[in-house]
Amino acid sequence: MACNRIARGGVALGSVLAVWSAGARADFAVNMTPGVTAISREVYDLHMLIFWICVAIGAVVFGVMFWSIYHHRKSRGAVAAQFHESALVEVLWTIVPMLILVAMAVPATKTLIRMADARGADLTIKVTGYQWRWHYEYLNEGIDFFSTLATPQDQIHNTVPKDATYLLEVDRRLVVPVGKKIRILTTAADVIHSWWVPALGWKRDAIPGFINESWTLIEKPGVYRGQCAELCGQDHGFMPVVVDAVPEAEFQQWVANMKAKNLPAAQAANGGQPL
């Protein structure tokens, strides 16, 4: 009987799984990406550290609780004790968590300080959020362009099959060099957006009227995808970020191509005179 039911359950589960894997990439990603920068790895380590601390505390507390639920039940003839305080344990379980918190705060503080240090950047890119696309401006190179969702409406409305990069593809990617410190200034032109690529380890809000500074140094060439992370209206879910990290030489080639394509209004660099 029971076996039969389990078997039937298994078949049902199996068929559900089959439906899933047929339609989609059976990814089942359950954790944060360690990413491709030193900072993103630090953040990942921090995340795992706190996670395991929580698991350990949970195991102890819930362990005690379940032990008690099993043994101290009336149906097993347990007679209730009447104690209701103990200065010692109450002091202990105030102080011990404090110490654990300090142990968490130390590495978190160190990482935060490193993240705040945007000095010595090799290039600066201004990222501007629009409803509903991103605008990128390479400040030193004088290159700028919009980057818009490239997924066709047909796929969104389910009339044609979806690509593997459904909702995560743009017409023009943000091309950046690997191994270079890139300073990113975020701002927005209408409402607040948030520029986020998980592999880079952080997100930063793009706020109209203000610029926000952050930085990244990508170690591995590759295509890294992310999305707008702050509700920005109707098409908030449809403004992805795609970063194409390429070797330095390839990046220079790309810059040269871009410059050749749209000769911008001559912009004076390194000018200016003291009064």
Footprint on residues 212-241 left by Cu ion (CB under 5 A): 228, 232, 239
Nearer to Cu ion, 239 or 255 (CB): 239
* 80 binds another protein, rule: CB under 8 A: yes
Q: Are strands 222-228 and 202-206 parallel, antiparallel or unpaired?
A: unpaired
With CB under 5 A as the contact rule, the residue among 133, 173, 183, 193 that binds Cu ion is: 193
Q: Peptide bond before 132: cis, by omega within 30 degrees of 0? A: yes
* The one-letter amino acid at 118: A
With CB under 8 A as the contact rule, the residue among 143, 176, 178, 185 that binds another protein is: 185
**What is the rounded CA–CA span in Å between residue 187 and residue 198?**
19
CA dihedral 228, 233, 239, 241 (to 10 degrees): -20
* 162 binds another protein, rule: CB under 8 A: yes
134 forms beta bridges with 129, 147
User: Out of another protein, Cu ion, none, which partner does residue 266 contact, by CB within 5 to 8 A per kind?
Assistant: none
Cα dihedral across residues 168, 174, 179, 185: positive or negative: negative
242 forms beta bridges with 225
- Among residue numbers 236 through 255, which ones bind another protein (CB under 8 A)? 236-238
User: Out of another protein, Cu ion, none, which partner does residue 74 contact, by CB within 5 to 8 A per kind?
Assistant: another protein
User: Out of another protein, Cu ion, none, which partner does residue 134 contact, by CB within 5 to 8 A per kind?
Assistant: none
With CB under 8 A as the contact rule, the residue among 6, 13, 18, 61 that binds another protein is: 61
Q: Least CB distance from residue 239 to Cu ion, whole Å? A: 5
User: Out of Cu ion, another protein, none, which partner does residue 146 contact, by CB within 5 to 8 A per kind?
Assistant: none
CA dist 66 to 34, 57, 81, 89, Å?
A: 35, 14, 18, 19
# chain residues binding another protein, by CB under 8 A? 125
SS3 150: coil
Nearer to another protein, 80 or 249 (CB): 80
Nearer to another protein, 73 or 220 (CB): 73
Q: Least CB distance from residue 233 to Cu ion, whole Å? A: 7
Quick note: the x/- pattern for another protein over 103-122, rule CB under 8 A, is -xx--xx-xxx-xxxxxxx-
**What is the rounded CA–CA span in Å between residue 229 and residue 210?**
18
Exposed/middle/buried for 63, CB within 10 Å: 0-12, 13-18, 19+?
exposed
Q: Least CB distance from residue 241 to another protein, whole Å? A: 11
Q: Least CB distance from residue 168 to another protein, whole Å? A: 5
The strands making up 240-246's β-sheet, listed across from edge to edge, are: 174-177, 240-246, 222-228, 193-197, 202-206
Nearer to another protein, 72 or 220 (CB): 72
**What is the rounded CA–CA span in Å between residue 98 and residue 105?**
10
Residues that bind Cu ion (CB under 5 A): 193, 228, 232, 239
